[in-house]
Amino acid sequence: MTYQKPNFRHPLAPTNNLGLSRREYEGALSTLCAGCGHDSISNAIITACFENSIEPHKVAKLSGIGCSSKTPTYFLGNSHGFNTVHGRMPSVTTGANMANRDLTYIGVSGDGDSASIGLGQFAHVVRRNLNMLYIVENNGCYGLTKGQNSATTDLGSISKSGNANKFSPIDLCNLSMQLGATFVARSFSGDKDQLVPLIKAAMSHRGFAFIDVISPCVTFNNNPGSKKSYDFVREHQEATSNIDFVPMQQEITTQYDAGTTQEVTLHDGSVIHLHKPIDGFDIHNPRTAMRAMKDHQERDEILTGLLYVDTDPVDLHDVINTNSKPLNSLTKEELCPGNKTLQSINESLR
Amino acid sequence: MTTPDTMVQHYHEVVDCQYACPAHTPVPEYIRLIAEGRYTDSYMLNWESNVFPGVLGRVCDRPCEPACRRGRLQEEPVAICRLKRVASDFKDDIQSRLPKIPEEKNGKRIALIGAGPASLTVARDLMPLGYEITVIDEQQKGGGMIRSQIPSFRLPDTVIDEEVGYILDMGVDTRFGEEVTSLKSILDEKFDAVFIGTGAPRGRNLEIPGRYDAEDHIHIGVEWLANVSFKHTNSIGEKVVILGGGNTAMDCCRTARRLGGKEVTVTVRSPFAEMKASPWEIEDAQHEGIPVLDNHVPVQFHCEDGKLNAIEFQLVRAEYDAKGKRSLIPTGEDNVIIECTDVIVAVGQENSFPWIERDIGIEFNDWDMPEVDKITYRTSHKKVFVAGDAAWGPENIITAVAQAHQAAISIDLFCNGKRLSSRPGPNWTLVSQKMGIHEWSYQNNVVDDERYAVPLIATDKALADLSVEVELGFDANLALQEAHRCFSCDAQTVFNASKCIECDACIDICPTDCLTMTHYDPSVDDVGDLRQRLTGPAANNEQPIYVSGSLPDTGRVMVKDENVCVHCGLCAERCPTAAWDMQKLLYTEAQAGDSCQK
Ligand SMILES: Cc1cc2nc3c(=O)[nH]c(=O)nc-3n(C[C@H](O)[C@H](O)[C@H](O)COP(=O)(O)OP(=O)(O)OC[C@H]3O[C@@H](n4cnc5c(N)ncnc54)[C@H](O)[C@@H]3O)c2cc1C
Ligand SMILES: Cc1ncc(C[n+]2csc(CCOP(=O)(O)OP(=O)(O)O)c2C)c(N)n1
Ligand code: SF4
Ligand code: SF4
Ligand code: SF4
Ligand code: SF4
Ligand SMILES: [Mg+2]
């Protein structure tokens, strides 16, 4: 009569390069509705971090407000976390990142949190190319406040109460490309084969990596006529290509057919393999991606997969030339170099 | 592919303990009743399946425990056997719950030869159906080897008296003190059927030089134990060597310790790891300061004037050929001579049927054992049935009980003029346990506790008196804690593919990685290959895999590896559409009367 996750795990469960089991990457038991897409995304994040052997204490997870923004409690229980206010995750993450550039930043937000109240913050964090993974758990509604339409609800999508949405949606992938994002992808919570490698690649990308994950709200937006239901997404999803991710430390063992597989090497040496890409799609050209997305949207189809990547990005630290070390590691001597240095600065300005 | 009609069999296999129990006792259900303090209900549930819960709760060979799922996730399985004893110790008077015996009999008379657990089970099953039962045993009391062999420090007489009494008091006609010397003469008494439950009464001998030079000091284990049990023997010399590594040897050495043996040593031919005795019996013996010497092959008794001085051993080591067949190779070291006053030979038991005439229609096989059908337990004589140790050699009590239930079904079918092959199927129900949100009517939280040890009496007190029971049994509190270790493997994960929306919630939450959704076509794909691509490594081929029908959205299937499911119910808890449900399987084997009377 209790609701607790047992402590037993599979006796043959593997450990990663750090000797950690998957369990070390789990969080508290979710309090979201049973079957919520968001829980699936939490699990994809756990899998990606576990398989990539990321040290849990080197990750910071930040979020805003919403069911989606609650989820950082449910993964990476041994990492740093900050639950900010509605729509304000980008600015708090910017501050944290400026202070400590050595952490991996995972921002989790919702379509309401990012496309409605937080749209301004979203725009600026993209154009600044902050080094982070930004995930929008996109259910096309305000789940936490009982399912009102959001700014990503598709035109004509029928709500649970039976009304068709009359406003055009904001496509956050399209918008982020216009704003200069350097890694853009879309995925589906019900497709971990695609989502996990995307998250791994996004964490290896140095710069702003955006993943819009369609994540059905089973309680308020999984009804017939909804364009973000499990059924609809499954029927209307098309992937730009199949994706594999090979982290930097690991040797590439699988042989790929050069004709159908494209290799993308990220700055840290890890490699993304894209198999069977759709015709005429150029992963390094934002314009082809934007056009393809628009075409798909007009046909009521959802284009998923990796949409665009810049393998040589210039992130915010590069642009504003910050210190190469986290602020908390600077010594008093470095922070306060003394009167002699002050005098020489003053001298140089005379 | 698991189809609906095979599901009950699948679910039955999932309840590892019950499946491993020869009588298929509904273990998780009785453990649950103990946790609820319903000891009498728990006892009766046991009694129906295994007839001797108080006896078995102390001395059962417990094949259920090595099978218990907890043993795959923790060091030790649930103390299934010792919990059974709790039900027996704390129950109320059960007289009113025993089956009513019809005053008016059905006119069929059955003879049971031997009054061991096999015969008593047949009597228990047939008496309530109106049969007239006559039990014949050369001993003065019922119980068979339970009484004559198992020492009272493991199993007090009071427990035997009580449970044998429940059966004999049903109005069984007893002819105790009568040795059957001719089966023909029994058949001549015009019984409608005769059941042979005479066990494997003869202890195997060891013919080595000196064997007959000190008769009073060289004993056959089973005979010696029976003599102790019936108080014909009450002492032994100070230095005793036991030959043999089975459970009989363990009972002999511990009994010898209590009858005056100061230096008691067990010797076995094989390496220690291959001893036949149950690990816990060896442990108990060692706990009482009895060393076990392995790789010792006895070669000669040293006697003088009818007195035993020592026994000589050759030292060997075990070697195995490519097929794994063992041979014991002498090491070439000097023989070992152990001084002793007595030797007890406990090297096995044999059946013997000098009293069955070979010309009355019972076929005997090459081993001079009657040919017995593995399903019906009937010999080639249509009226003669055999079960227990008498059928295929020494086993244990629970096996004798399980076989005897089947023999009773056959006798009942036979006496009703039905075909023995039209046997009744099991009784089962499968009932949802859902009570509400986060609420299940079985205990679904999973505790981490390690196995609780049964309190023992101090060793010096135990050794001082043969009749003092060594184990004190769990108290109610310990029993409750141990009962909570049970995963309730009878709470089955029942899947309805048509409801699944493939949201992954069940797969994500499952603590032990049991679940996978994948493409699989049973008509072309290989199950072995399927096992390779599941969420968690499905390496235990002895555990079944559940494969659903195809899922509505993607045509994939839901696969569950049953191996380490802890029955926490989280898959069902997290499923938005109740495609998973936790349903309790209550499964019992059919018994005599299930097809004829109903
Ligand atoms: C030392 C020892 C310890 C054991 N410990 C355990 C234990 O801890 N747990 C466990 O599960 N099992 C144990 N066993 C095995 C268990 O006792 C037997 O498997 C079980 O009793 C077999 O039951 P049964 O009804 O087939 O025959 P038995 O119990 O052997 O009963 C046969 C009866 O038939 C009678 N009989 C035989 N021939 C005749 C005849 N011609 N005329 C009249 N009567 C006859 C005998 O007197 C006896 O009473 C032990 C066995 C031994 C030898
Ligand atoms: C400043 C402020 N305004 C409004 C709210 C009410 N509110 C809470 S969550 C939410 C929308 C969340 O939607 P989304 O980000 O899509 O998350 P979801 O629950 O759908 O995952 C709103 C409007 C709030 N908490 N704070
Ligand atoms: S309301 Fe919707 S988004 Fe929120 S937890 Fe429930 S299903 Fe998920
Ligand atoms: S955990 Fe309980 S139900 Fe499962 S095998 Fe062990 S005793 Fe039986
Ligand atoms: S009951 Fe369900 S969730 Fe729990 S271990 Fe078994 S399959 Fe996994
Ligand atoms: S939780 Fe239920 S609906 Fe979701 S995948 Fe599992 S069985 Fe299907
Ligand atoms: Mg939302």
Asked if the Cβ–Cβ distance from B446 to A40 is below 8 Å, we say no
Average pLDDT for chain B:
95
In a domain, A38, yes or no: yes
**Domain spans in chain B, listed from the N-terminal domain onward:** 98-201+351-415, 204-349
**Distances, alpha carbon A175 to alpha carbons A89, A202, A293, A297, B240, in Å:** 18, 18, 11, 14, 91
B595 pLDDT more than 80: no
B5 pLDDT more than 50: yes
Mutate to test the interface with B, among A5, A9, A10 (most CBs of B within 10 A): A10
Identify the three-state secondary structure at position B64.
Answer: helix
The predicted model gives B252-256 an average pLDDT of 97
Please state, for a pLDDT cut of 90, what percent of chain B lies above it: 94
The predicted model gives B169-196 an average pLDDT of 98
Burial B546-571 (b: 16+ CB within 10 A, else e): bbbebbeeeebbbbbbbbbbbbbbbb
**Low-confidence residues of chain A: pLDDT under 70:** 1-2, 249-259
The predicted model gives B11-40 an average pLDDT of 98
What's the distance, Cα to Cα, between the start and end of chain B in Å?
34
Give the model's pLDDT for residue A1.
44
Residues spanned by the domain of A90: 22-241+277-320
What's the pLDDT band for B3 if we cut at 50, 70, 90?
very low
- Tens of pLDDT, residue by residue over B335-382, are 999 999 999 999 999 898 999 999 999 999 998 999 999 999 999 999
Sequence-ordered list of residues with C-beta below 8 angstroms from that of A170, at least 6 positions apart, any chain: A115, A119, A151, A152
> Residues lining ligand 1, CB < 6 A?
B 59-61, 113-119, 136-139, 144-146, 149-150, 179-180, 197-199, 201, 222, 225, 247-248, 251, 355, 388-390, 394-398, 400
Sequence-ordered list of residues with C-beta below 8 angstroms from that of B98, at least 6 positions apart, any chain: B166, B170
B152 pLDDT more than 60: yes
- Is A35 touching B (CB cutoff 8 A)? yes
B2 pLDDT more than 50: no
Average pLDDT for chain A:
94
- Tens of pLDDT, residue by residue over B293-345, are 999 999 999 999 999 999 999 999 999 999 989 999 999 999 999 999 999 99
Give me A342's structure tokens. 């002050």
Q: Which CATH code for domain B204-349?
A: 3.50.50.60
B573 pLDDT more than 80: yes
The predicted model gives B201-227 an average pLDDT of 94
In a domain, A91, yes or no: yes
Domains held by chain A: number: 1
Burial B501-539 (b: 16+ CB within 10 A, else e): bbbbbbbbbbbbbbbbbeebeeeeeeeeebbeebbbbbe
Q: For residue B403, which of B163, B201, B589, B162 has the smallest C-alpha distance? A: B589
Asked if the Cβ–Cβ distance from A9 to B554 is below 8 Å, we say no
B183 pLDDT more than 90: yes
Q: Are B149 and B255 in contact (CB under 8 A)?
A: no
C-alpha R_g of chain A: 21
- Is A36 touching B (CB cutoff 8 A)? yes
Give the model's pLDDT for residue B6.
77
Residue A196 sits in a domain whose CATH number is 3.40.50.970
CA distance A14 to A327: 36
pTM as predicted? 0.92
Cβ–ligand 6 contact at B501 (below 6 Å): yes
Identify the three-state secondary structure at position B409.
Answer: helix
Structure ipTM: 0.91
Give the up-direction half-sphere exposure of residue A37: CA atoms within 13 A in the CB hemisphere: 31
Judging contacts by C-beta atoms under 8 Å, the chain B residues touching residue A1 are 438-440, 443-445
B598 pLDDT more than 50: no
Domain B98-201+351-415 fold = FAD/NAD(P)-binding domain (3.50.50)
B596 pLDDT more than 60: no
Sequence-ordered list of residues with C-beta below 8 angstroms from that of B69, at least 6 positions apart, any chain: B16, B17, B77, B487, B489, B564, B565, B566
Identify the three-state secondary structure at position B428.
Answer: strand
In a domain, A2, yes or no: no
